Structure 1
Amino acid sequence: MSHPREIAPGATYMITRRVLRRHLLFRPDAAITQLLVYALAVSARRFDIKVHALCAMSTHLHLVVTDVNGVLPRFLQFFHRIVALGTKVLRAWEGPVWDHEATSVVRLLTRAAVVEKIAYVLANPVAAGLVRHAYEWPGAKVDVEELGRGALRAARPQAYLDPENPQWPKEVTLPLALPPAVEQDSIDDFRRDVAAELKDQEAQAHAALHQQGRRFLGAERVSKLSPHERVTSFEALRDRNPTFAVGREQGDAWRIAGAAVRAFRASYRAALERWRAGVRSVVFPVGTWWMRTFHGASVTDLGLTV
Structure 2
Amino acid sequence: MSQPRQIAPGATYLLTRRVMRRHFLLRPDAAINQLLVYALAVSARRYGIEVHALCAMSTHLHLVVTDVQGVLPRFLQFYHRLIALGTKVLRQWEGPVWDHEATSVVQLVTQAAVVEKIAYVLANPVAAGLVRHAREWPGVKVDVGDLGRGVLHALRPSAYLNPKNPQWVEQATLSLALPPTIEQENAEAFRLQVAAELERQEAQAHAEAEQQGRRFSGAERASEISPYERATSREELGARNPTFAVGRNQGDAWRTAKAAVCAFRISYRTALKQWCAGVRNAVFPVGTWWMRTFHGARVNDATLAA
TM range (shorter): over 0.9
* Secondary structure, aligned partner of 1:241: coil
* Secondary structure, aligned partner of 2:63: strand
Residue in 1 that maps onto 2:19: 19
Residue in 1 that maps onto 2:262: 262
Letter in 2 for 1:267: S
Counterparts of 2:290 and 2:208, CA distance in 1: 42
Counterparts of 1:184 and 1:9, CA distance in 2: 21
Letter in 2 for 1:293: T
Counterparts of 2:283 and 2:44, CA distance in 1: 30
The answer to whether residue 135 in structure 2 is matched with residue 135 in structure 1 is yes
CA deviations over 1:196-220 (Å, ceiling 9, x no partner): 0000000000001111101000000
CA deviations over 1:142-163 (Å, ceiling 9, x no partner): 0000000001100000111111
Unaligned runs of at least 5 residues, structure 2: none
CA deviations over 1:143-189 (Å, ceiling 9, x no partner): 00000000110000011111110000000111000000112651110
The CA RMSD measured in Å over matched residues stands at: 0.9
Counting matched residue pairs gives 303
Note the C-alpha offset of 1:302. 4.8
The answer to whether residue 172 in structure 2 is matched with residue 172 in structure 1 is yes
* Secondary structure, aligned partner of 1:182: coil
Residue in 2 that maps onto 1:10: 10
For residues 45-194 of structure 1, the aligned pairs below 5 Å read 45-183=45-183, 186-194=186-194
Counterparts of 1:27 and 1:290, CA distance in 2: 34
Counterparts of 2:148 and 2:184, CA distance in 1: 13
CA deviations over 1:82-120 (Å, ceiling 9, x no partner): 000000000000110000001000001111000000000
Counterparts of 2:241 and 2:276, CA distance in 1: 27
**TM-score after normalising by structure 2:** 0.98
Residue in 2 that maps onto 1:275: 275
For residues 231-246 of structure 1, the aligned pairs below 5 Å read 231-246=231-246
Residue in 1 that maps onto 2:230: 230
Counterparts of 2:234 and 2:108, CA distance in 1: 28
Unaligned runs of at least 5 residues, structure 1: none
Counterparts of 1:115 and 1:276, CA distance in 2: 42
The answer to whether residue 249 in structure 2 is matched with residue 249 in structure 1 is yes
Counterparts of 1:11 and 1:130, CA distance in 2: 32
Counterparts of 1:177 and 1:254, CA distance in 2: 26
Counterparts of 1:191 and 1:262, CA distance in 2: 33
Letter in 2 for 1:164: K
Residue in 2 that maps onto 1:30: 30
User: Percent identity among equivalent residues?
Assistant: 76
Find runs of 4+ consecutive structure 1 residues off by over 2 angstroms: none
